[in-house]
Amino acid sequence: MTLPLQKFEKDCLINLGTCIAVSGEGKSGQDCVEYKLTFDDGNIIEHRLPPGEIVLHPLPLEKSATIEVRPMRGFNVGEGSGKTVIQKVTGGVVGIVIDTRGRPLKLSSDHKERQEQLTKWNQALNVYPKY
């Protein structure tokens, strides 16, 4: 690698963290993924998410954790429908994001519901922190 490229990567790029985006469509009231996040200090977070959610777990730069993600039937996290993935993930300025909103994002056609949806997602990611 050339010196300018090394300098660019070291000084100009910011590591935001890791995002796990689940693909697939589900019904309301159904879980689409369950995951277990094991931090290097031994702390463990286990959680289930329905479709349409986004969750942030803070993990600082240069820290890592292991995540086991088990998608339900019809959902995929990169290895095929319903296949579990176990991976080492790294932290960053944002942390670890688990995103079950699917793509393309489905926003409600009702203005008030759409506003509530976007507000909920912004709060989950701490987009507009309160100081």
pLDDT tens-digit series, residues 70-95: 999 999 999 999 999 999 999 999 99
Nearest residue to 69 via CA among 60, 56, 78, 57: 78
Q: What percent of the chain has pLDDT over 90?
A: 70
CB atoms under 10 Å from CB of 37, counted, come to 20
Which residues, 6+ apart, have CB-to-CB distance to 13 below 8 Å? none
User: pLDDT band at residue 31, thresholds of 50, 70 and 90?
Assistant: very high
CB atoms under 10 Å from CB of 113, counted, come to 11
- CA dihedral defined by 37, 38, 40, 41, rounded to 10 degrees? 110
